[in-house]
Amino acid sequence: MSRLDSFIRRMTSQKILLEYLVDKVNEVDGPVLELGLGNGRTYDHLREIYPAKEIFVFDLAMNCHPSCAPDAEHMILGDIRDTLAFCGPRVGARASFAHIDIGSADPTNDLAIVDWLEPLVNERMAVGGYVLTALELHLSNFESLEKPEGIHQGRYHIYRKAAEV
Ligand SMILES: C[S@@+](CC[C@H](N)C(=O)[O-])C[C@H]1O[C@@H](n2cnc3c(N)ncnc32)[C@H](O)[C@@H]1O
């Protein structure tokens, strides 16, 4: 498969999965967290499909297209390893949904990210809340959910926080 085909498949899966979760996420109280603003593609989509949810966006810097820049209150700048741990006073309620789009292309680096990310995600998610990520998480109080048909099995993961530990 060419890199173009692979890119198209990845973006298509991301859109299908984001939309697949909307009704489920809307049954849970709490804001949406976008980990990794990048150029703002998925943030822009999230604000379209979650008009009633507050969305907080995390990244080292704001490098998105100007048309989809979050406002200052909702753009949390800095290393997520620090900011996710200390965002409670600003974000308030625990999250109904976290879209985590910060994986690297390197499997060893991804393991290192998962190591610091897991406890922070657990802390910030509401019970019943959903996580969509390409990173494989191993949180004992989260269940792994089936993906809709047509989504490549290994590529994305959907988790739901089943209980507090
Ligand atoms: C793949 S891009 C996100 C793409 C974005 N969701 C979109 O659709 O345009 C990953 C982003 O995560 C950010 N990122 C990765 N690791 C981070 C960290 N530890 N702290 C803050 N931002 C991080 C990078 O700066 C980059 O902008």
**Choice from 84, 101, 106 to test ligand 1 binding pocket (greatest atom count within 8 A of CB):** 101
Average the pLDDT over each of 39-43, 54-58, 104-108 and give the range with the smallest value.
104-108
Total domains in the fold of the chain: 1
Instruction: Find the DSSP H helices in 29-153.
Output: 41-49, 80-86, 88-91, 107-124
Angle, nearest 10°, between helix axes 3-20 and 41-49?
A: 30
Residue 157, pLDDT score: 95
| Cα 12 to averaged position of ligand 1 atoms, centre (Å) | 19
Classify strands 142-145 and 157-161 as parallel, antiparallel or unpaired.
Answer: antiparallel
Task: List residues near ligand 1 (CB under 6 A).
Answer: 36-42, 58-60, 79-81, 101-102
Q: Report the percentage of the chain scoring pLDDT > 90.
A: 90
| 11-39 mean pLDDT | 97
In whole angstroms, give the CA distance from residue 122 to residue 59: 19
| 36-60 mean pLDDT | 98
| Cα 35 to averaged position of ligand 1 atoms, centre (Å) | 7
pLDDT at 152 over 80: no
Residue 56, pLDDT score: 98
What range defines the domain where residue 147 resides?
A: 3-161
| Cα 117 to averaged position of ligand 1 atoms, centre (Å) | 13
Assign residue 60 the CATH number of its domain.
3.40.50.150
| Cα 136 to averaged position of ligand 1 atoms, centre (Å) | 17
**Choice from 7, 60, 114 to test ligand 1 binding pocket (greatest atom count within 8 A of CB):** 60
Which residue has a Cα nearest atom 26 of ligand 1?
38
